[in-house]
Structure 1
Amino acid sequence: MVQLEDILAILGGAIFKDHSGQCLNCLVDYYSIHDALYAEFNAALSAILFAISNGWMSLWFECDSTMVVEIFKGNHNPPWKLLNKWSKCKAAMAEMDFRVSHIYREGNSCADKLANYWINSKVSSIWSSTPNFIVHEFLRNRNHLPNYRFNSH
């Protein structure tokens, strides 16, 4: 059985890695037009259900949305349109070894690239290995190399 150590999710994109940092799967989902919290929380719930469907019962969820992390910690209410999906995930998470933590956007560059793919393609996709368009960021992340974001202001 695969033990997951990382999951990065943003705007419908997720990366599943094992304990050694190897990519197990990547996925992106297109949710039509909704607000950012809805899209990010829906992506998180979809990623958890994907993990469960693959039998991965040890999950560390990293997210660059502090609001989504706060929902998982019970400090904020989820979007009401996702309450049924949230209830299903909460029941499943009770049976899992589950952790949630915040990661800064700079540390989430692979998920950011997946989100950009999702925004441009508007189709759902699943890869069983690292997609070519994120290999550079994936290797930087796996080798603990820093990522920087610069602002022109």
Structure 2
Amino acid sequence: MLNRLYFETSLVGFRGCFHTKGGRGYAFEAELLAIITAVAIAHDRQWFFLWIETDSTYAVKLVESRSRDVPWRFLASWSRTLRLLEDMTIMVSHIYREGNSAADIMANPERSEGWWPYAVDEIKRAVTLDMATHSFVRVCD
């Protein structure tokens, strides 16, 4: 289970990206853990306007409804995420996997874990491609 995300804004552009290895699990669990991690990172950095795109329609429904109907092993961290979301303005939408090539690049299992506050070259190219195919941002200032 690999978790990945990149942050960008309308004013600054690329803000950073992360990659973590969450162990074995289903694709939905990777998406859920990515959302949990993304909300925590955004909240810690005081980015209170957040747009999450995920290829999991179930994850979209969970965030929109603020449901606690998650696998047991995620319940504590998901409950914390829901508390953090109370301080944030958030949009969540479904995106087909093909429309999020930068996140797919970050999901490379060979990539080391961590947070990068800069865009590596392959991410810059993917973000440019993603932005050329749709006209919105994921984190707003």
TM-score range, shorter chain: 0.7 to 0.9
Structural RMSD (CA): 2.0
Could you tell me how far 1:76 is from its partner in structure 2? 7.9
Residue 81 of structure 1: aligned partner:
73
Residue 120 of structure 1: aligned partner:
110
Counterpart pick for 1:29 among 16, 20, 25: 20
Could you tell me how far 1:142 is from its partner in structure 2? 2.6
Q: Name the aligned partner's letter for residue 114 of structure 2.
A: S
Does 2:83 match 1:91? yes
Structure 2 gaps of 5+ residues are 135-141
Q: Which has the larger Rg?
A: 1
Could you tell me how far 1:21 is from its partner in structure 2? 7.0
Does 2:98 match 1:109? no
Q: TM-score, normalised by structure 2?
A: 0.84
Counterpart pick for 1:56 among 24, 39, 47: 47
Q: Name the aligned partner's letter for residue 101 of structure 2.
A: S
Residue 150 of structure 1: aligned partner:
none
Assess if the C-alpha contact under 8 Å between 2:60 and 2:94 holds in 1: yes
Report the secondary structure of 2:25's partner residue: coil
Assess if the C-alpha contact under 8 Å between 2:68 and 2:78 holds in 1: no
Counterpart pick for 2:37 among 42, 46, 50: 46
Assess if the C-alpha contact under 8 Å between 2:6 and 2:18 holds in 1: yes
Give the fraction of aligned pairs with identical amino acids, expressed as a percent: 29
Which structure exhibits the higher relative contact order, with contacts defined as CA atoms closer than 8 Å and separated by 6 or more residues?
2
1:83-125 superposed Cα distances (whole Å, 9 cap, x missing partner): 1111111111011111111111111111011112xx223x312
Residue 143 of structure 1: aligned partner:
132
Count of residue pairs brought into register by the alignment? 133
Report the secondary structure of 2:16's partner residue: strand
Counterpart pick for 1:70 among 61, 76, 84: 61
Tell me which stretches of 4 or more aligned residues in structure 1 moved more than 3 Å: none
Q: 1:82 to 1:128 in 2, by over 3 A?
A: same
